């Protein structure tokens, strides 16, 4: 049996796996991805990717623009409605268009809100990963996996037979059923399987039912079924999701039956319908009790399967993949110690649970009143809320006087360690940029004013001593603070400095100058990186 060696093996070619492979390859880490399906998703699946996920992807040159171009010509309007069918004379609108949320996001991030279908985004990620040198193998499945102190031995099976892959670490992005999670005996919690759905992708002329430049997510409750339909997608197809009875076979969803269900959903009994694809999936709320099992790390649905009600499941999966990529890069290149990888579970598992719980609560709101018993009250799960989330781990050095209190608006990032670094407009040699544009390729040390030069010199020394990728910049010297907000937003005075991680999160800050900045910064970096 042939044997191969690769630093990182990714299992699963969805959002989490493809984002991990893309960001690892961009950082120069050899990566092999295996996916049992012959290609990326055919179904549109989830619609929309929040700006926090785009912030993590955008350091790859051109990728943000390419993702935004998918949706060119389609408006930003999004509506969510509860009705019996698309011709219901009195639908109940849960959300009208989301413009207020979009306006708020514009003030806290320069990243786009990409309202594109998952299938199209996956194709972009696949092309990018392959162009960057990632080895993506479709129609290939994981057969077995064993771990030891030095690495992981996996057997994979593809069209050319079985082979052995030896890797340092594995990203388990293998979906909500997650064979790897079962193999490794990782326990789960949550409400469990809530039901099953058949997703029907169809083409039909919905003139008079669909508004131009508006995507509408309809939650349908009628005498035939409960489910949801997404219209106005602009991709030549619409999607109807139908809840089906426990134990009902997917084979029962013939093209004829699916077409009739579409007619019920649209309220047009004579509608000409062409069925393009159909698939069944579980509606579930399942949370892995740990995101790490030895050298295997869980991401996406294998870590947190959540109802789609809320639209943050895909974004959370993308963030998992991107987040693992920079952490694994630091460890396999020797910039961080192996214990640094424990911070992935510490930071990402709370936000995965928070998002899943919020979407479970949303599901309860959108169900018939008699079925809402046992569902939690709605939570804040907006894209802005995810940007404002604060991390806690050994990769974050909290300040002695930080009581962990929530600021006035928890959606707005601030300069405290553990917060996503604030968006501040800067001028760099006549070009307007955001502080967010500075993050991604490595650590960034931002010092304030002429008094910050000592920090820049210290950063150069620490970079050489520790062999870490560390960019050093002076605000109001090299970079001009256009709006005069940097000091207040980041909580630093003249001569102070802030250290930002590759994911754009504040790891540490010194509001004022210190006596020995080189010794201070080296101590900080060693502690953060588990060195």
Residue 383 has pLDDT above 70, yes or no: no
For residue 413, name the pLDDT band (cuts at 50, 70, 90): confident
Give pLDDT tens digits for 424-441: 999 999 999 999 999 999
Q: 152-156: which pairs have CB atoms within 8 A and are 24 or more residues apart? A: 152/9, 152/294, 152/295, 152/296, 154/9, 155/1, 156/34
Co-location of 140 and 175 in the same domain:
yes
Dist. CA 429–CA 237, nearest whole Å: 46
Tokens of 258: 């699916």
The verdict on residue 206 lying in a domain is no
pLDDT value for 518? 97
List all residues 6 or more positions away from 216 whose beta carbon is below 8 Å from its beta carbon. Answer: 78, 79, 80, 81, 210, 230, 231, 232
Dist. CA 388–CA 118, nearest whole Å: 24
Local structure of residue 449 (DSSP, 8 states): S
Q: If 0-12 CB within 10 Å is exposed, 13-18 middle and 19+ buried, where does residue 394 land? A: middle
pLDDT value for 308? 85
Question: Residue 44 sits in a domain of what CATH number?
Answer: 3.50.50.60
pLDDT value for 99? 63
Co-location of 310 and 174 in the same domain:
yes
> Residue for token digits 């509506």?
79
Residue 473 has pLDDT above 70, yes or no: yes
Split into its structural domains, the chain has a count of 2
Co-location of 326 and 406 in the same domain:
no
The verdict on residue 229 lying in a domain is no
Residue 255 has pLDDT above 80, yes or no: yes
Residue 519 has pLDDT above 90, yes or no: yes
For residue 406, name the pLDDT band (cuts at 50, 70, 90): low
Dist. CA 98–CA 225, nearest whole Å: 28
The mean of the pLDDT values for the chain is: 89
Co-location of 377 and 479 in the same domain:
no
Percent of all residues in the chain with a pLDDT value above 90, rounded to a whole number: 65
The verdict on residue 226 lying in a domain is no
Paired with 305 in beta bridges are 286
The answer to whether residues 261 and 282 touch, using CB atoms and an 8 Å cutoff, is: no
Co-location of 492 and 373 in the same domain:
no
- The residue among 385 and 433 whose pLDDT is bigger is 433
Tokens of 1: 């049996």
Give pLDDT tens digits for 198-230: 999 999 988 888 776 667 778 887 888 888 888
Q: Which of 38-52, 301-315, 392-406 has the highest mean pLDDT?
A: 301-315
For residue 373, name the pLDDT band (cuts at 50, 70, 90): low
pLDDT value for 303? 98
Closest CA to 226 of 204, 244, 201, 250: 244
Averaged pLDDT, 421-425: 96
What does the DSSP assignment read for 257-308? HHHHHHHHHHT-TT---EEEEEEEEEEEEEEES-SEETTEEE-GGGTEE--S
Final residue belonging to a domain, choices 361, 385, 409 = 385
| Structural domain containing residue 468 | 391-528
Paired with 475 in beta bridges are 448, 479
Q: Which of 246-260, 404-418, 440-454 has the lowest mean pLDDT?
A: 404-418
Give pLDDT tens digits for 116-152: 888 889 999 999 999 999 999 999 999 999 999 999 9
Closest CA to 177 of 165, 157, 190, 193: 193
Final residue belonging to a domain, choices 325, 358, 385 = 385
pLDDT value for 59? 96
The verdict on residue 17 lying in a domain is yes
The answer to whether residues 424 and 480 touch, using CB atoms and an 8 Å cutoff, is: no
Residue 6 has pLDDT above 90, yes or no: yes
Co-location of 462 and 497 in the same domain:
yes
Distances (CA, A) of 176 to 240, 281, 355, 430: 21, 9, 16, 48
Co-location of 376 and 467 in the same domain:
no
Co-location of 496 and 513 in the same domain:
yes
The verdict on residue 201 lying in a domain is no
Q: Residue 195: which region, alpha, beta or left (left: phi > 0; alpha: psi -120 to 50)?
A: left
The answer to whether residues 1 and 157 touch, using CB atoms and an 8 Å cutoff, is: no
Final residue belonging to a domain, choices 340, 366, 385 = 385
Give pLDDT tens digits for 62-100: 999 999 887 664 555 667 788 888 888 777 766 655 566
Residue 170 has pLDDT above 70, yes or no: yes
Question: Residue 492 sits in a domain of what CATH number?
Answer: 3.40.30.120
Tokens of 100: 């207020």
Residue 248 has pLDDT above 70, yes or no: yes
Residues known to be catalytic: 219
Averaged pLDDT, 359-381: 70
Co-location of 373 and 460 in the same domain:
no
Tokens of 336: 């961080």
């Amino acid at each position: 049996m042939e044997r191969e060696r690769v630093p990182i093996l990714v299992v699963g070619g969805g959002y989490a796996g493809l984002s991990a492979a893309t960001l690892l390859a961009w950082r120069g880490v050899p990566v092999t991805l295996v996916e049992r399906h012959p290609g990326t998703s055919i179904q549109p699946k989830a619609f929309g990717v929040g700006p926090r996920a785009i912030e993590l992807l955008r350091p790859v040159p051109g990728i943000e623009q390419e993702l935004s171009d998918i949706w060119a010509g389609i408006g930003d309007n999004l509506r969510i409605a509860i009705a019996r069918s698309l011709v219901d004379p009195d639908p109940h609108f849960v959300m009208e268009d989301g413009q207020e949320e979009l306006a708020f996001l514009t003030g806290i991030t320069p990243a786009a809100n990409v309202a594109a279908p998952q299938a199209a985004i996956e194709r972009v990620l696949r092309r990018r990963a392959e162009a960057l040198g990632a080895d993506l193998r479709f129609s290939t499945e994981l057969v077995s996996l064993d771990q030891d102190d030095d690495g992981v031995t996996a057997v994979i099976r593809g069209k050319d037979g079985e082979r052995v892959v030896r890797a340092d670490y594995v990203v388990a992005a293998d979906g909500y059923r997650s064979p790897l999670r079962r193999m490794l005996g990782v326990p789960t919690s949550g409400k469990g399987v809530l039901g099953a759905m058949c997703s029907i992708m169809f083409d039909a002329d919905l003139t008079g039912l669909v508004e131009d430049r508006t995507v509408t997510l309809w939650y349908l409750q009628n005498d035939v079924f409960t489910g949801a339909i997404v219209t106005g997608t602009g991709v030549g197809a619409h999607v109807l999701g139908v809840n089906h009875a426990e134990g009902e076979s997917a084979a029962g969803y013939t093209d004829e039956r699916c077409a009739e269900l579409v007619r019920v959903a649209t309220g047009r009994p004579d509608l000409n319908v062409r069925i393009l694809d159909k698939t069944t999936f579980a509606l579930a709320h399942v949370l892995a009790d740990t995101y790490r099992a030895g050298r295997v790390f869980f991401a996406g649905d294998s870590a947190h399967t959540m109802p789609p009600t809320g639209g943050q499941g895909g974004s959370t999966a993308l963030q998992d993949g991107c987040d693992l990529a920079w952490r694994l890069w630091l460890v396999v290149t020797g910039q961080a110690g192996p214990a640094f990888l424990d911070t992935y579970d510490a930071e990402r598992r709370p936000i995965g649970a928070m998002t899943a719980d919020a979407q479970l609560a949303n599901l309860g709101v959108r169900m018939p009143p008699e079925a809402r018993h046992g569902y939690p009250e709605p939570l804040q799960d907006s894209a802005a809320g995810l940007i404002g989330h604060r991390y806690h781990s050994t990769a974050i050095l909290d300040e002695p006087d930080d009581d962990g209190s929530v600021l006035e608006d928890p959606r707005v990032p601030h300069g405290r360690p553990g917060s996503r670094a604030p968006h501040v407009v800067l001028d760099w040699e006549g070009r307007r940029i955001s502080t967010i544009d500075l993050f991604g390729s490595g650590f960034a040390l931002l010092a304030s004013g002429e008094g910050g030069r000592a920090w820049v010199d210290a950063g150069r020394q620490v970079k050489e001593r520790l062999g870490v990728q560390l960019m050093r910049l002076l605000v109001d010297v090299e970079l001009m603070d256009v709006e005069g907000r940097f000091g207040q937003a980041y909580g630093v005075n003249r001569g102070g400095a802030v250290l930002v991680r590759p994911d754009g999160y504040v790891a540490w800050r010194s509001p004022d100058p210190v006596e020995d900045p080189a010794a201070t910064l080296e101590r900080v970096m060693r502690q953060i990186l588990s060195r």
